[in-house]
Amino acid sequence: MDIQEIKQRFGIIGNSPLLNRAINIANQVAPTDISVLITGESGSGKEVFSHIIHQMSPRKHGPFIAVNCGAIPEGTIDSELFGHEKGAYTGAVGERKGYFETVNGGTIFLDEIAEMPLGTQARLLRVLESGQYIKVGSSKVEKTNVRVIAATNVDVYEAVKSGKFREDLYYRLNTVPLRIPPLRDRKEDVYLLFRKFTSDFTDKYRTPPIQLDEEAQQVLINYSWPGNVRQLKNMAEQLAVLERDRIITAQTLLTYIPHETSNRNLPMRLDNQPKEDFSERDILYKVLFDMKRDMVELKKLVADIIEHGGVAANYSNHSQTLNQLYRDIELPGNSETQFTLQQPVNTNNNSNNNADAYNITHEAEEVEESLSLIEKESDLIRKALKKHKGKRKLAANELGISERTLYRKIKELNL
């Protein structure tokens, strides 16, 4: 059967080269009993390819079952897959057949295989290698003839390196790797899929047909579709049901697309996290940032003095501003520092000697630097309270901490 016939039989829409290659691999591997590992993002259609492999294989008349390994609790997954004997564990009131027994002679599709516990992975490896398994609570070896197709939306090789997935099972399953391309790599198929979905939904709900203008088509094609085909299908259904104007514009289409999807992987602060957990660190950062800002302002002022320093009339203003700025800066270690700006000794108009027009002297007596975070906190809290005339709510906002944390700090530091 060629690729077009397979597309028609299984309802696959698209002409992307990556999609055609995946269909071709599935068609070639189907007549064999080789295990297949299907990889692809969530919503890209991995289960559809498991049906292609099963229906195109000699087992097509046998049973087929899809199992989501991530949806089964770790304590019961062995029982679900391999069965259990009566009394094997609390609540096992009777014997139960597992999937590998009920699907004997058919195909089992293990979705989200990377979520399978390591102990169950060892049992699965034995089934793949010898067709043997043991029910939970039994000592009798059972035989089964089942073809395993596995799928995952994570990088299994990275899971192997981190110890979350057995290496031997990975290579046993990955005999034939089958990668399903995400929708963003199939831009030529996006509009075709959209038209198919909207046509199906307008027929289902008996609503007028949906059309996109040219700008809306470009928005549709250029969107990244993190939810892949599933997301596109859901949006098509919403448009078919909700929109009264059946000519969809780009502005209308954007209302159905998440606005900040491009930033979905950036870190964010959770509102339910208590601010006070990080209050000490935040205070220290604020102290350091304030010091840095003051030093930048000082550099700008000195550069301005050097550039325009030949004018004697500006001496008084520059001197006052510079000395005031140095007095406002709290240097580390409580240094007792005095800066003086002496009047120029030569007020000629030679612009090349502006740097020498003023003589800046720096006399400092340094004392041992204090590394106490408590002292820094206490000093910063006092300043915030003084700035806002004792209003604690405003002071807390200035410090970037909660009002409750400020109350606690005032009590702890005896302010």
pLDDT digits (tens, 9 = 90+) for 214-231: 999 999 999 999 999 999
Residues 203 and 199: their CA atoms lie apart, in Å, by 6
For the segment 161-185, the average pLDDT, to the nearest whole number, is 92
Q: What is the pLDDT of residues 337-387, one digit of tens each?
A: 444 444 444 444 444 444 444 454 445 455 555 556 677 778 888 888 888
Find all residues with CB under 8 Å of 248, minimum gap 6, and list them. Answer: 210, 211, 212, 213, 216, 239
For the segment 143-148, the average pLDDT, to the nearest whole number, is 95
Residue ranges per structural domain of the chain: 3-181, 184-262, 285-365, 373-412
Q: What percent of the chain has pLDDT over 70?
A: 77
Residue 266: pLDDT band (50, 70, 90) is: very low
Q: Is residue 391 helix, strand or coil?
A: coil
Please state at what angle helix 392-399 crosses helix 279-308, rounded to 10 degrees: 80
Which pLDDT does position 67 carry in this prediction? 95
Which pLDDT does position 231 carry in this prediction? 93
Residue 100: pLDDT band (50, 70, 90) is: very high
Which of 201-205, 213-217, 402-406 bottoms out in mean pLDDT, i.e. has the lowest?
Answer: 402-406
Whether residue 184 contacts residue 225, with contact meaning beta carbons closer than 8 Å, is answered with yes
For the segment 305-312, the average pLDDT, to the nearest whole number, is 60
Which pLDDT does position 364 carry in this prediction? 46
Check the CA dihedral 379-385-388-393 and report its sign: positive
Which pLDDT does position 280 carry in this prediction? 59
Which pLDDT does position 134 carry in this prediction? 93
For the segment 8-19, the average pLDDT, to the nearest whole number, is 93
CATH code for 373-412?
A: 1.10.10
279 vs 110: which has the higher pLDDT: 110
Beta strands in 6-117 (DSSP E): 36-39, 64-68, 107-111
Residue 304: pLDDT band (50, 70, 90) is: confident
Which pLDDT does position 335 carry in this prediction? 44
Torsion angle, CA of 398/401/404/410, rounded to 10 degrees? Answer: -70
Structure tokens at 204: 């289902």
In eight-state DSSP terms, residue 244 is S
Query: 184-262: which CATH topology?
Result: Helicase, Ruva Protein; domain 3 (1.10.8)
* pTM reported for the whole predicted model: 0.60
Name the CATH code of domain 3-181 (choices 3.90.1300.10, 3.30.160.270, 3.40.50.300, 3.40.50.2300).
3.40.50.300
144 vs 401: which has the higher pLDDT: 144
